[in-house]
Amino acid sequence: MRRISRITVAGAATASLALALSACGGTSTSAGSSDSKGDKGLAIAYDVGGKGDQSFNDAAYAGLEQAKKEFGYQTADVEPTEGETDADKEQRLVSLAKQGHNPVIGVGYAYASAVKGAAEKFPDTTFGIVDDATINAKNVADLVFSEEEASYLAGVAAAKTSKSKVVGFVGGVDIPLIHKFQAGFAQGVKDTDPKVKVLSQYLTQTAEEGGFASPDKGKTAAEGQIEKKADVVYAAAGLSGQGVIEAAAANKVWAIGVDSDQYQQEALAKYKDSILTSAMKDVAKAVYNLAKSVEDGKPETGIVRGDLKTGEVSLSNSNPKFADDAELQEAIKTAKEKIISGEIKVKSS
């Protein structure tokens, strides 16, 4: 174990952490193996929607679980609170670092200011942030993805599958990150079949308005697109995407999931036959890899990007109707090869 045990101060630190976390988000898990000897490893702080979103946050949790199992140390994962400030987020990360957790990861671009502040206070702790590339610090890893590449493939799938020649995109919040999903999807659709119309809608202008955490908003948006003849709807909306999938299932059209393989999500099991595929980004792998780099004594730092070439963005093949469609799979394979080779340049805005 390449980490100094904090067992001698565990009593005081645990008490102070409990007070701090009660004010800025509760710890949903703080677990370790019986032989972990007090060592504290990876900790994550969730984005809007929290654990159980069947998407972005749950993917980060999967990476944490893998690290906990492999390295046998104590981990922590902390929920966000409604209406919290950047200062609240920073205090959450600071509390985890004080406890001795290393690395500490903020899940989502909203943690940018908090990660920057906490990293300055704890230069010997490695911090990570998912979906933000703005922090330039020796002890920070910016874990980012080429979401537009997987979204392009989702666009190919949508265009090849649509019978109405109308497909939909539902974005959670109108921000540059989600613009990447929309841009790649629309380009994939148009390159595959220029006759297919793409309907696009954003649920909110800011995350605080619930764009990533409101299944009802997602459902309403999808229903509106389905009324306009969309028969494939792609959501990049976090927890709100569940509403999009529900609407697709109710109207017997296709949904395309995002971030995680949503066909496999237990909470979405009753809708899975309507989930064509999911445009995945391997947040679990990124989280685990950062934890492993710290464990190996060579912490990742700077921009760490996952894309089609590294295998960290992809389309899921869990739905047999999707996986067994030879013509569709060939079209996706061809597009993927052209993106990796550089023949296709995927737009990010």
Per-residue pLDDT tens for 63-105? 999 999 999 999 999 999 888 899 999 999 999 999 999 999 9
C-alpha distances in angstroms, 78 versus 95, 185, 292? 11, 32, 20
What is the predicted pLDDT for the residue at 53?
A: 76
What is the predicted pLDDT for the residue at 131?
A: 94
What is the predicted pLDDT for the residue at 32?
A: 39
Residue 151 phi/psi, 5-degree rounding, is: -65, -35
Decide if pLDDT at 7 tops 70. no
Decide if pLDDT at 37 tops 70. no
For the chain, the straight-line distance linking the first and the last C-alpha, in angstroms and rounded, comes to: 43
Residue 41 phi/psi, 5-degree rounding, is: -110, -135
Query: What burial class does residue 124 get, using C-beta atoms within 10 Å of its C-beta: 0-12 exposed, 13-18 middle, 19+ buried?
Result: exposed
Token pair recorded at residue 163: 């019978």
Task: Give the rounded percent of residues in the chain with a pLDDT score beyond 90.
Answer: 81
For residues 142 and 8, give the distance between their C-alpha atoms in angstroms, rounded to a whole number.
32
Decide if pLDDT at 31 tops 90. no
What is the predicted pLDDT for the residue at 253?
A: 98
C-alpha distances in angstroms, 261 versus 60, 112, 233, 264? 13, 26, 16, 6
Decide if pLDDT at 231 tops 70. yes
**Residues 234-290: pLDDT tens digits?**
999 989 999 999 999 999 999 999 988 999 998 899 999 999 999 999 999 999 999
What is the predicted pLDDT for the residue at 21?
A: 38
Parallel, antiparallel or unpaired: strands 127-130 and 104-107: parallel
Average pLDDT, the chain: 89
Decide if pLDDT at 5 tops 80. no
Parallel, antiparallel or unpaired: strands 275-281 and 127-130: unpaired
Decide if pLDDT at 8 tops 60. no
Decide if pLDDT at 36 tops 80. no
In the chain, which ranges are E strands?
A: 27-31, 40-45, 74-78, 104-107, 127-130, 140-145, 166-173, 197-204, 232-236, 254-259, 275-281, 302-306, 313-315
**Residues 296-332: pLDDT tens digits?**
999 999 999 999 999 999 999 999 999 999 999 999 9
The pLDDT-based confidence of 38 (bands split at 50, 70, 90) is low
Q: Give me the amino acid identity at 104.
A: V
What is the predicted pLDDT for the residue at 208?
A: 87
Decide if pLDDT at 18 tops 50. no
How confident is the model over 25-39, as a mean pLDDT? 47
Token pair recorded at residue 138: 């020796």
Decide if pLDDT at 30 tops 70. no
